[in-house]
Amino acid sequence: MSLALAPLDLSVETEANLPCRKFDPDLWFSDSPTELELAKSLCGDCPLRVECLAGAVERAEPWGVWGGEIFERGAVVPRKRPRGRPRKEDLARDAELQVEAEARLAASGLAASRSAVRLAA
């Protein structure tokens, strides 16, 4: 059975408890790094976060926030970079955030290997 089509926990009131249903949906698909970080934080307490992330990984979602992770061009990225050339300190921070993103995926059982989900550098 596909993770994306796994049965939902029927004890969860899907419409009432999902942040993506309470707030503006455009927040999860914003071009602004700040707004995407806000969407990620709202996903933290979502009862369907793991299922949402699993489905997004399986579908290789092209972009947006899914299950508390940012997807860009079908890959999980630790944060969305603003336009332009990144500063050296931003590159170092991105490397640290990349390790954290890999750890979160591994902890949720979604990335047993790097081939399971493509992580963008």
Which parts are annotated binding residues for [4Fe-4S] cluster?
A: 20, 43, 46, 52
Residue with tokens 């914003």: 30
DSSP letters of 69-110? EEEETTEEESSPPPSSPPPHHHHHHHHHHHHHHHHHHHHTTS
Binding site feature residues: 20, 43, 46, 52
